[in-house]
Homo-oligomer: A and B are copies of this chain.
Amino acid sequence: MKTVLIGNGNLAWSLAQALHQAKEIELLLILGREEKKLEDFKQWAPISTDWNDLPEADLYFLAVSDRSIASLSQKASGDGLWVHCSGSTAMDQLASSVRRGVFYPLQTFTKGREVNFKAIPIGLEAEKETDYQVLEQLAHQISSKVFRMNSEQRQKMHLAAVWANNFSNHMIAVAEDIADKAEIPKEVLYPLIEETIAKAQTLGAHSAQTGPARRDDQQTLNRHLELLEDPTLKQLYTQLSQSIKKNYSSEE
């Protein structure tokens, strides 16, 4: 299956590697805006910054920022299937002049950081069922966890991913800052963080919840609020605790 990758960011970097490694996929070209960034992609396929170089292919990946999807897809042409890779963008943002679909890998990507694409869940959508079959066949070459997701489900999964990744990372960032100010190395928190997600996966996060808010320990909650100096964090601590309490108040 002949493919073209458009984009030179974090996702494009990981996807290029996965496409390159898949035996039955040929990566014809990587097209990007930034010549310098594209240099890092040479190892996997020919590179170009010129849309006129776009070859005929079975599948075109638009691995670009959400805001560029609609405008770039206006340049789409040919008989190939065009897919974007965004969680929060509806399929119909792609130009209607081409066959269209979505290939959404539910993961956080960083250029230079290898990920095991086989383990990454991929949410697929296509306008036509025959295109879905093509897309599914390709996705199975890259990942063993392929799901059908319509645009609404995908947007909800993107929202879920913001909680699971962005917000939980922020919680860790706040924890690291507190450790830092207490002159304790932040690494002290790592075994706890690892056990947190191990427990969440074994028991489900709902059952794994513990802590002063969960047991409604007002004394500890008050003392913690005193320890927090930053007003944004104070407010956030209160709100997070209330949200936890609310989840469990009806049970007891």
Contacts and interface: CB of A to CB of B under 8 A. Distances in A.
B156 A182 contact: yes
A87 B109 CA distance: 36
A63 to B, nearest CB: 15
Given A156-B179, A161-B175, A176-B206, 14 more contacts: A66-B220, A107-B191, A108-B199, A155-B223, A155-B227, A156-B184, A163-B171, A163-B172, A164-B193, A165-B192, A165-B196, A170-B244, A173-B205, A193-B200
Interface residues of A, number: 90
Interface string A201-237: 1111110111111100101100110011000110110
Interface secondary structure of A, over-half rule = helix
B184 A153 contact: yes
A227 to B, nearest CB: 5
A149 B208 contact: no
A181 interface: yes
13 contacts: A66-B217, A88-B212, A147-B188, A156-B227, A157-B178, A159-B228, A160-B174, A161-B192, A163-B171, A166-B209, A170-B247, A173-B209, A193-B197
B193 A240 contact: no
A202 B186 CA distance: 12
